[in-house]
Amino acid sequence: MEMKRIVSGMRPTGRLHLGNLHGALVKWIELQDRGDYDCFYFVADWHALTSEYRDTGQIRDFAHDMVIDWLSAGLNPAKSTLFVQSAVREHVELFYILSMITPLAWLERNPTYKEMKTEITDRDLSTFGFLGYPVLQAADIIMYKAYGVPVGVDQLPHIELTREIARRFNFLYRGIFPEPEPVLTEVPKLLGIDGRKMSKSYDNAIYLRDRGGELKTKVLSMFTDPQRERKNDPGRPEICNVFTFHGIYTDAGRVEEIDRECRRAGIGCVDCKKILLASLERGLAPLHERQDYYLARPGEVAAVLESGNAAAARIARETMQEVHNALGF
């Protein structure tokens, strides 16, 4: 029996942080562990190139580090196919064919495109590749005839575009591509240590690699309820980022107690953060252990990708055969 396929990718543009872990990876792992999906997860290194084309040197290292963190977080190569986009050249081939049938207007009205073009000012993104980003993404997805694509809300326009492009291909040539569904993640809203969105560009992220003194410094400097200037000011856990983290990492009984004590100024923020630090250290310990394991065994990581790349390429070649037939080539 064919299992429904799940496909998702991540761009290797920096180290993974807790926002990435809880925003995406946890969902990927959950879908993998359900056992009724055939999951394909890949390093979107060509997509990284759209913004990093001037400085490509780091992409490779970020990719390697990212896969180590995937494995450490619980992605299991015995259950999921883990591969690298650029190792399966068919993605570009399909991208190019799809680009022939994608009206420019669909790309120009893409909200992510419009947003990034105004937001990112430190580099020139008026390139063909950047405009075509969602076409490559569509190729990534329909190549494997994906049923579901786990993504955050920001990616919804790209999945909708993928559906439109698949529909157009099916209409023009032959109905070979199913229209994928987005699989939305309800994400706990984890902010960076300064209270803004967690992002490497704000320098406020807690990374999966952070431990010991580094982790401690970050946790102890986290923003809390700004109304709690003094220890005997009552706090509002519902607006406190430290409390959101407790919700994930601290056991439920303790979380209730913190909630109660914070409201009656029975606990200070420093003590509250110390509890969080201990919870984080405990919660992330198995992940950190696996990190050490894979960091010491680059050959094992390479082997995982090699077999994933081969498995993905087999399917990609089959799909491209169908595409060529549909085009009459």
Instruction: Please give the residue ranges that form the binding site for ligand SF4 (CB under 6 A).
Output: 224-225, 228, 235, 237, 240, 242-243, 258, 262, 267, 269, 272-273
- Choose among ligand SF4, ligand TRP, none what residue 309 binds, the Cβ cut-off being 5 to 8 Å by kind: none
Does 52 contact ligand TRP by CB under 6 A? Answer: no
How many residues bind ligand TRP, per CB under 6 A?
13
Distances (CA, A) of 17 to 170, 203, 205, 250, 328: 39, 11, 6, 19, 46
Instruction: Work out which of 140, 210, 225, 259 binds ligand TRP, going by CB under 6 A.
Output: 140
Taken as a whole, the chain contains a residue count of: 329
Distances (CA, A) of 136 to 60, 89, 128, 158, 266: 19, 12, 12, 10, 54
Spatial separation of the C-alpha atoms in residues 249 and 297, rounded to whole Å: 29
Query: Which window, 137-145, 207-215, 248-256, 279-287, contacts ligand TRP (CB under 6 A)?
Result: 137-145
- Please name the amino acid found at residue 325: N
- Closest CB 66 distance from ligand TRP, rounded Å: 12
Parallel, antiparallel, or unpaired for β 148-151 and 181-184? parallel
Sign of the Cα pseudo-torsion (135, 179, 30, 23, in order)? positive
Sign of the Cα pseudo-torsion (284, 287, 289, 295, in order)? negative
Eight-class DSSP state of 25: I
Spatial separation of the C-alpha atoms in residues 52 and 110, rounded to whole Å: 20
Query: Which window, 63-71, 136-144, 184-192, 316-324, contacts ligand TRP (CB under 6 A)?
Result: 136-144
Of residues 166 and 215, the one with the C-beta less far from ligand TRP: 166
Does 9 contact ligand TRP by CB under 6 A? Answer: yes
Does 137 contact ligand TRP by CB under 6 A? Answer: yes
- Closest CB 7 distance from ligand TRP, rounded Å: 6
The SS3 call for residue 226 is coil
Of residues 9 and 235, the one with the C-beta less far from ligand TRP: 9
Of residues 52 and 225, the one with the C-beta less far from ligand SF4: 225
Of residues 51 and 250, the one with the C-beta less far from ligand TRP: 51
Residue nearest to ligand TRP according to CB distances in the complex: 9
Instruction: Work out which of 21, 75, 125, 141 binds ligand TRP, going by CB under 6 A.
Output: 141
Instruction: Work out which of 22, 47, 145, 228 binds ligand TRP, going by CB under 6 A.
Output: 47
- Closest CB 281 distance from ligand SF4, rounded Å: 17
Distances (CA, A) of 54 to 15, 44, 48, 57, 58: 19, 17, 11, 9, 11
Angle at 211 between CA 208 and CA 212, to 5 degrees: 170
Task: List the alpha helices (DSSP H) in the chain.
Answer: 18-20, 26-34, 45-52, 59-73, 90-101, 104-108, 111-119, 128-131, 133-142, 156-172, 212-220, 241-249, 252-263, 269-295, 298-327
> What residues numbered 146-175 form the site for ligand TRP, per CB under 6 A?
149, 151, 155, 158
- Helices 298-327, 59-73: inter-axial angle, 10-degree rounding: 100
- Choose among ligand TRP, ligand SF4, none what residue 240 binds, the Cβ cut-off being 5 to 8 Å by kind: ligand SF4
Of residues 139 and 272, the one with the C-beta less far from ligand SF4: 272
- Closest CB 21 distance from ligand SF4, rounded Å: 21
Query: Which window, 8-16, 230-238, 249-257, 306-314, contacts ligand TRP (CB under 6 A)?
Result: 8-16
Site residues, ligand TRP (CB under 6 A): 7-9, 11, 44, 47, 137, 140-141, 149, 151, 155, 158
